[in-house]
Amino acid sequence: MEFPVSFISAGEASSTLTEYVPAPYFRKGFTLGGKPQSGELLICGLGFYELFINGTKITKGALAPYISAPTDLVYYDKYDLMPYLQQGENVLGVLLGNGFQNNPGGYVWNFDKAVWRGSPRFA
* Domain range annotation of the chain: 19-116
pTM for the whole structure? 0.81
Q: Provide, rounded to the nearest whole percent, the portion of the chain with pLDDT above 90.
A: 34
CATH architecture label of 19-116: Sandwich (2.60)
CB 73 within 8 A of CB 116: no
pLDDT digits (tens, 9 = 90+) for 79-109: 999 999 999 999 999 998 877 677 766 666 7
pLDDT for 79: 93
**What's the Cα-to-Cα distance from 22 to each of 41, 48, 57, 64, 123, rounded to whole Å?**
25, 13, 20, 18, 19
Q: Which of 30-34, 72-76, 78-82 has the lowest mean pLDDT?
A: 72-76
**What's the Cα-to-Cα distance from 57 to each of 3, 32, 52, 53, 81, rounded to whole Å?**
24, 20, 4, 7, 11
Q: What confidence category does residue 119 fall into, taking pLDDT thresholds of 50, 70 and 90?
A: confident
pLDDT for 120: 78
